[in-house]
Amino acid sequence: SIFQNFFVVNETPHAGLIQTLIAGITNIVFDAIFIVGCNMGVLGAAIGTIFGYVGGTVFSFLYIILRKKNLLHLCFSKPSLKVLEKTSVNGLSDFIFNISSAVVSLIYNIQLLKYFGQNGVNAFGAVMYINFIFVAIFIGISIGTAPIIGYNYGARNDDELHNVIFKTLNIVFIASVLMTVIAEVSAPLLANAFSREPT
């Protein structure tokens, strides 16, 4: 969620954790309601995901609006073409990544429905959920180190900047190796967590 970055700058990273938990729990609850309770299958899973995003977003807005001690506040500002240009250029890579990911997922789902039906989409969804558990570790590392790197870069603390980057790369490398080993060893267990029949 984009709000994670705001919470870090706001010096309330715990709010990001709460927001993620709310979004995840909301998604799980509505998945159970629509998939199991209403027997809506893939459509129910999609609706449950939407409710998960809505739950996390509503919490984020309320946290920023209602909490008086925030460093960041919502307000109206004058339009600025220079700011818009810098923001657009800075966010272009994330925009392209998100759009391409959405398009690839859409194509995957279309092809899975065509060749394997609803079970294929369900299997792909399970793999994506498991994948996100592993990817979330690296997202957490990047979100956690980005403010430190940005601060030292702005303050021109080159020695500390290189030190932070070096340590971060080492952590990422070690985590990558561990995640690969865990994924290979526990693949059947993780797959069976999302399947009624043993694989």
**pLDDT for residue 194:** 64
Distance set, CA 18 to CA 14, 47, 74, 155 (Å): 6, 22, 20, 31
CA dist 104 to 98, 101, 126, 134, Å?
10, 5, 16, 20
Closest of 4, 8, 3, 7 to residue 149, by C-alpha: 8
Q: In 10 A of CB 43, how many CB atoms?
A: 12
pTM above 0.75, yes or no: no
Mean pLDDT by 10 residues, the chain (199 residues): 74 84 89 84 84 90 86 80 83 84 86 82 78 82 82 86 91 91 83 62
In this predicted structure, what is the pLDDT of residue 166? Answer: 93
- What is the reported pLDDT for 35? 82
What pLDDT does residue 40 have? 82
> What Rg do the C-alpha atoms of the chain give, in angstroms?
20
> Could you give the CA distance from residue 162 to residue 166 in angstroms, rounded to a whole number?
6
